[in-house]
């Protein structure tokens, strides 16, 4: 299930929750409002391996969320929240459909979050994502992916193989900012 949310409805119903999760700062500058959330980096920004999607869904459900909300967040392109969707997490295919709903979600950075307010993900156009959340969420995510070190190594391998093609100094800042140096 995927449903487009009109901008005015998103602003009236979900913007306060959104703003309580996302700080508006860049990934290396504490992108989430909750400073004690643990962060992880995920290869890819719009297409994730099936094992990650299934682990993500399990972690989201551990927080009591059956749906996720996605919204564009790049003010440089247009005022943010031009395209927002509600995504049912009951099936693998819904997650893949987010970017097919509209051009703004598919072409820029966007935020994914749950009604619980216990987790958030920033999907960067630069072919990576940053995910953060409360301990129960992160533990469930790590456990489903073989542990924290396995997820870290997966991302570092992705980088070493050339999957993350951004400025080397910026890469270093991002990796250090989440403690993966």
Q: Look at residue 149 and tell me whether its pLDDT is greater than 90.
A: yes
pLDDT tens, residue by residue, 51-78? 888 899 899 999 999 888 989 887 666 6
Q: Are 101 and 2 in contact (CB under 8 A)?
A: yes
* Residue 50: per-residue pLDDT: 80
Domain ranges of the chain: 2-168
**Alpha-carbon gap, residue 160 to 93, rounded angstroms:** 29
Q: Look at residue 176 and tell me whether its pLDDT is greater than 80.
A: yes
Mean pLDDT of the chain: 87
- Phi (first) and psi of residue 171, to 5 degrees: -55, -50
**Alpha-carbon gap, residue 110 to 122, rounded angstroms:** 6
Instruction: Identify the residue whose tokens are 């960067």.
Output: 124
* Residue 86: per-residue pLDDT: 85
pLDDT tens, residue by residue, 86-108? 888 766 556 556 655 555 666 67
pLDDT tens, residue by residue, 110-141? 899 999 999 999 988 888 999 999 999 999 99
């Amino acid at each position: 299930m995927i449903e487009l949310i009109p901008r005015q409805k998103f602003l009236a119903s979900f913007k306060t929750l959104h703003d309580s999760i996302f700080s508006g700062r860049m990934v290396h500058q504490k992108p989430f409002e909750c400073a004690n959330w643990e962060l992880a980096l995920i290869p890819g920004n719009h297409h994730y391996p099936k094992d990650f999607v299934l682990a993500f869904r399990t972690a989201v459900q551990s927080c009591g969320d059956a749906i996720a909300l996605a919204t564009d967040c790049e003010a440089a392109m247009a005022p943010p929240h031009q395209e927002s969707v509600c995504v049912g997490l009951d099936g693998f295919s819904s997650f893949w459909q987010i970017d097919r709903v509209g051009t703004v979600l598919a072409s820029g950075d966007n935020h994914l979050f749950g009604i619980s307010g216990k987790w958030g993900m920033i999907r960067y156009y630069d072919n990576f994502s940053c995910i953060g959340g409360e301990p129960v969420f992160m533990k469930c995510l790590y456990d489903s992916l073989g542990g924290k070190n396995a997820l870290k190594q997966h991302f570092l391998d992705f980088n070493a193989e050339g999957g993350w093609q951004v400025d080397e100094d910026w890469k270093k800042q991002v990796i250090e900012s989440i403690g993966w140096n």
